[in-house]
Structure 1
Amino acid sequence: MAYQYSKGWFIQKLKHEGISKHPIERRKLELYKTFVVRNLYEQYIEKQNQ
């Protein structure tokens, strides 16, 4: 279990939605810094919830 809003938490939520690699660079999410993963979360997950 990851702390809420930590890098692991963002990766867990993205993988649950079926995003396991960066959509453009096609590298694993674990290789990116937290702010990149958070921005992906905001782009793909937050927009779906609105």
Structure 2
Amino acid sequence: MYVGSKGWYVSELKKIGVNRIEGRKVEKYKTTTLANTLADKKK
């Protein structure tokens, strides 16, 4: 998995305990949404 790929963002979000965003699984979202969510959660 490459840093910055969709799979990388999914795994990083799952490491911090985020499995769903607004009731939908994180795998269903696009990379940009995942990146923004990860940035918000790491603050």
**Which 5+ residue runs of structure 2 have no aligned equivalent?**
none
Distance (Å, rounded) in 1 between the aligned partners of 2:28 and 2:34: 10
**Which 5+ residue runs of structure 1 have no aligned equivalent?**
none
Determine which structure has greater relative contact order: mean sequence separation of CA pairs < 8 Å that are 6+ residues apart, divided by chain length.
2
Distance (Å, rounded) in 1 between the aligned partners of 2:16 and 2:30: 20
Question: Post-superposition, which runs of at least 4 consecutive aligned residues in structure 1 deviate over 6 A?
Answer: none
Equivalent of 1:27 in 19, 24, 28? 24
Distance (Å, rounded) in 2 between the aligned partners of 1:7 and 1:41: 12
TM-score between the two structures when normalised by the length of structure 2:
0.90
Residue identity over aligned pairs, in percent, reads 40
User: By how many angstroms is 1:20 displaced?
Assistant: 0.5
TM-score between the two structures when normalised by the length of structure 1:
0.79
Distance (Å, rounded) in 2 between the aligned partners of 1:35 and 1:4: 14
Higher Rg: 1
Larger strand proportion of the pair? 2
> Is residue 9 of structure 2 the alignment partner of residue 10 of structure 1?
yes
